[in-house]
Amino acid sequence: MSKSVRVGGHISRQFDEELDEIRSRVLKMGGLVEVQLDKVLDALRDGESSPIIDIEKVDDEINDLEMQIDEECTQILARRHPAAGDLRLIIATTKSVRDLERIGDEAQRVADMVRHAMDRDASKKAFKGLLSLTEHVKEFLHETLNTYARMKTRNAVKIMRRDQEIDSEYSRVVRRLIEFMKKDPENIADGLDVMWAARSLERIGDHCINICENVIYLVEGQDIRHQNVDEVKEQLS
């Protein structure tokens, strides 16, 4: 982590280690969420649900990590009374962990819906566009985790700008699915499963934005939630 983040400054090496430990656990948690999305991608590429059979185990690990990190953050607040940059690190981490846990839940929902549709032998046409959306959302998540790891405001703003691409791709998938469902009432069940999956992917994008906002808060000390990306850029420049 860049030293400039630690505005507060502190001389305890043990405290440094505690903060590094938390940070590495957050990244481990992020890695597990990426594993979830990789499994969904495998299923979509193979056209069969077996890669996502044991995905619940990953979700359990994610939940355990969330609770551990939260507990560590609380301990640090109680024992170390962090100030300035350290305090922001703890606050931003607690929030980001919450978002990561939600991302894990949404990834689990995507997997459930894909499996549900595949096990019902859904028409391959229903899945059109979902692979590409999943790939892009996974990439988006990966960049978000990198931004958290490196604590770079500029990267965070760049990612926030890209969220519109995910939203547009999501809208295209939904429009296509509506056409698909209108063609034949038999397509409705398949179409809805894929639509729920797409919705969850779009939500993952929203949570990534939250994490980027947390990074900006952490580094700059500014709460830029509920602003559009151009306002944010201007405010930070």
Give the footprint of its own copies on this chain (CB under 8 A). 60, 63, 66-67, 70-71, 74, 77-78, 81, 83-84, 87-88, 91, 94-95, 98, 178, 181-183, 185, 188-189, 192, 195, 199, 223, 225-226
Using the structure block, give the residue that is written with the tokens 């850029």: 233
Query: Who contacts 234 (Cβ-Cβ below 8 Å, separation ≥6)?
Result: none
Judged by beta carbon, residue 59 or residue 169, the one nearer its own copies is: 59
How near is the Cβ of 109 to its own copies at its closest, in Å? 11
Inter-residue contact 216 to 157 (CB < 8 Å): yes
How near is the Cβ of 199 to its own copies at its closest, in Å? 8
Using the structure block, give the residue that is written with the tokens 């894909």: 114
How near is the Cβ of 152 to its own copies at its closest, in Å? 22
Judged by beta carbon, residue 70 or residue 163, the one nearer its own copies is: 70
CA distances from 186 to 117, 145, 189, 190 (A): 13, 40, 7, 8
How near is the Cβ of 223 to its own copies at its closest, in Å? 6
Judged by beta carbon, residue 109 or residue 136, the one nearer its own copies is: 109
How near is the Cβ of 74 to its own copies at its closest, in Å? 6
What ranges in the chain are assigned the alpha helix state H? 13-46, 55-80, 84-119, 130-150, 153-183, 188-220, 229-236
Reading the block at residue 198, the tokens are 């797409």
Judged by beta carbon, residue 71 or residue 139, the one nearer its own copies is: 71
Judged by beta carbon, residue 138 or residue 207, the one nearer its own copies is: 207
Question: What DSSP element (H or E) covers 193?
Answer: helix 188-220
Inter-residue contact 76 to 90 (CB < 8 Å): yes
How near is the Cβ of 165 to its own copies at its closest, in Å? 21
Judged by beta carbon, residue 50 or residue 235, the one nearer its own copies is: 235
Cα(121)–Cα(106) distance, integer angstroms: 23
Q: How many CB atoms lie within 10 A of CB 181?
A: 19
Cα(40)–Cα(120) distance, integer angstroms: 17
